[in-house]
Amino acid sequence: MAKPTDYLQWHGKQYRVRLRVPRRLQSIMGTAQLIHPLHTADLKIANERKLEIVARMKADIRLADKAFENNDTAKAEAIRLRIKHREYDDESIQHVHDRAEVIALERGHRDAAAFVEVARGISTPIKFYSDAFLAYKTNYGLGSKKDFQRVLGWMEEWCKANHLGPYLEDFDRRIAGRFLDESLSVGRSKAKAAAYLGFIREYWKWLKQRGHTTENPWLDQTLSDAPRLGRGAEPDKGKRPFTDAELIVLLNGPSSTRTSDLMRIAALSGMRIEEICQLRVSDCKDRLFNIRAGKTAAAERQIPIHTDLVAIVDRRTTGKRPDAFLIDDLPPVPESRESRSDPAIKEFTRYRRKQGVDERPNDKAKSNVDFHSFRRWFIRKARDAMHVQASPGYDEWTFPSVIGHTESDRPKSLDLSMMGYAGQDPLAAKRDLVEAVKLPSSTNSLSQDGT
């Protein structure tokens, strides 16, 4: 956890920022540490002021690291000068241009121009202020931070592929529009591209507010509509449940014990995979799954444990500490991600594809079936059973309390009318709903030892 005094040093009668330079980069940057005065003795003010300075220092270190990896001596020298002369006088400017003339003779005018721009700070790499922006955007979760960094990386790659400078100053409305048409909109749904465009707009809005740029070229930019598919195109109805045939293939195939357990738990509870992976041994008592937190406020709920899951739950809880995870064979979660389920999802995806369970009409990027299709299958089977059975013991009002969906899509007056009328024993209704779902008869059962 970050401490209030991180990157701060008391010097004289005030705080200053101090950031150590990795040993391998000290010759490039010309110093062993970066220092910047904050002109305050107030710790709270110092912490506010340090954020952008630390982000700028880290950006300088990243530039130096890239120069080190590419053995780029010209860029290394430019970075040294950039750090040495944060405020340029006539003499230092002349020194930069003198060096640029030598570089032009040795490496060409393109490298010489880049040297001048980096050394004088005229051109700013796209990601230069990304850390400061993320420090400001405290509401961004880990997934949003990754998406933001990802789209900036795409911008850099596109610029280099099109012989454009990967710098903030080079993005005017024309270049921004080209990037949207030639890169961001290609191979992505309009909704996904719009989400990435939202990150770019917010970044440039912040850059303008902080005085790092004068214009936001992304305002009023629109994304092109998806091209109309020809008559020979495959129909695409989007994400869907597994069919019974697909479920049989998956449950009978040579999956690992972990994947086999996860598939069955999802199919017979309707839980999301992260909800399953967050369950502790203490959450699986009295024939109930107790979900403490989840994707939405409605995700916190109790789900009766299906009869066919009892053996799996017993095997995974017997002799375990109460705070142990039910799915305890997942690796620890590193700081680079926030969900436990990522390795399990990747393993299942590889297994699903190997088993030939896939649907990508018109070569779309993502399959219409994924791990969430177990949840869709559970809902469909419970719904179908409700209409087939004469007295199912549950009704449509039982579904939200099992699935964890909010009821906001229905008229509020109808919710108020039906509140409290889901039956004398809501838990019994939930158990009837869960037990109404049956795996296809051709699937293998899982024994106590997981085989």
- Convert the pLDDT of each residue in 264-289 to its tens digit: 999 999 999 999 999 999 999 999 99
Q: Residue 293 corresponds to which tokens in the numbers above?
A: 């937190």
Domain CATH number, residue 134 = 1.10.150.130
Q: Residue 48 corresponds to which tokens in the numbers above?
A: 């506010």
Check whether residue 299 and residue 425 sit in a common domain. Answer: yes
> How far is it, in rounded angstroms, from Cα 270 to Cα 266?
5
Per-residue confidence (pLDDT) for residue 92, from 0 to 100? 43
pLDDT beyond 70 at 408: no
Domain range holding 219? 129-226
Q: How far is CA 396 from CA 266, 288, 407, 424, in A?
A: 20, 21, 11, 15
Per-residue confidence (pLDDT) for residue 132, from 0 to 100? 85
**Number of structural domains the chain divides into:** 2
Q: Residue 111 corresponds to which tokens in the numbers above?
A: 């490298």
Upper half-sphere CA count for residue 127 (Cβ side, 13 Å): 20
Q: Which of 226, 254, 288 is the last residue of a domain?
A: 226
Looking at 193-276, which runs of residues are DSSP E strands?
none
Q: Tell whether 32 is covered by a domain.
A: no
Contacts of 37 (CB under 8 A, 6+ apart): 11, 14, 16
Check whether residue 218 and residue 282 sit in a common domain. Answer: no
In Å, how far from its chain's centre is CA 130?
Answer: 16
Q: Is 325 helix (H, G, I), strand (E, B) or coil?
A: strand
Check whether residue 271 and residue 195 sit in a common domain. Answer: no
- pLDDT tens digits, residue range 318-332? 999 999 999 999 998
The runs of H, that is alpha helices, within 137-188 are: 142-161, 173-179
Residue 445 has a CB neighbour count (10 Å cut-off) of 9
DSSP assignment of 256-306 equals -HHHHHHHHHHHTT---HHHHHH-BGGGEETTEEEE---SSGGG-EEEEPP
> How far is it, in rounded angstroms, from Cα 185 to Cα 198?
13
Q: What pLDDT band is residue 1 in, cutting at 50, 70 and 90?
A: very low
Check whether residue 353 and residue 410 sit in a common domain. Answer: yes
Residue 205 has a CB neighbour count (10 Å cut-off) of 15
Q: Which residues pair with 17 in a beta bridge?
A: 8, 36
Per-residue confidence (pLDDT) for residue 114, from 0 to 100? 59
Check whether residue 186 and residue 282 sit in a common domain. Answer: no
In Å, how far from its chain's centre is CA 397?
Answer: 33
CB environment 238-259: b (16+ within 10 A), e (fewer): eeebbeeebbbbbbebebeebb
Check whether residue 300 and residue 382 sit in a common domain. Answer: yes
Check whether residue 134 and residue 190 sit in a common domain. Answer: yes
The mean predicted confidence, pLDDT, of the chain is: 80
Residues of the chain with pLDDT > 90: what percent?
37
> How far is it, in rounded angstroms, from Cα 41 to Cα 25?
31
In one letter, which amino acid is 332?
P
Per-residue pLDDT averaged across 167-190, rounded? 86
Q: Residue 220 corresponds to which tokens in the numbers above?
A: 């009023």
Check whether residue 261 and residue 382 sit in a common domain. Answer: yes
Check whether residue 276 and residue 314 sit in a common domain. Answer: yes
Q: Residue 424 corresponds to which tokens in the numbers above?
A: 């004398």
* Nearest alpha carbon to residue 75 among 21, 124, 22, 119: 119
Check whether residue 354 and residue 220 sit in a common domain. Answer: no
Check whether residue 282 and residue 380 sit in a common domain. Answer: yes
> How far is it, in rounded angstroms, from Cα 130 to Cα 144?
13
Per-residue confidence (pLDDT) for residue 75, from 0 to 100? 59
Check whether residue 275 and residue 385 sit in a common domain. Answer: yes
Q: Tell whether 398 is covered by a domain.
A: yes
Domain CATH number, residue 317 = 1.10.443.10
Q: How far is CA 134 from CA 71, 89, 99, in A?
A: 30, 33, 35
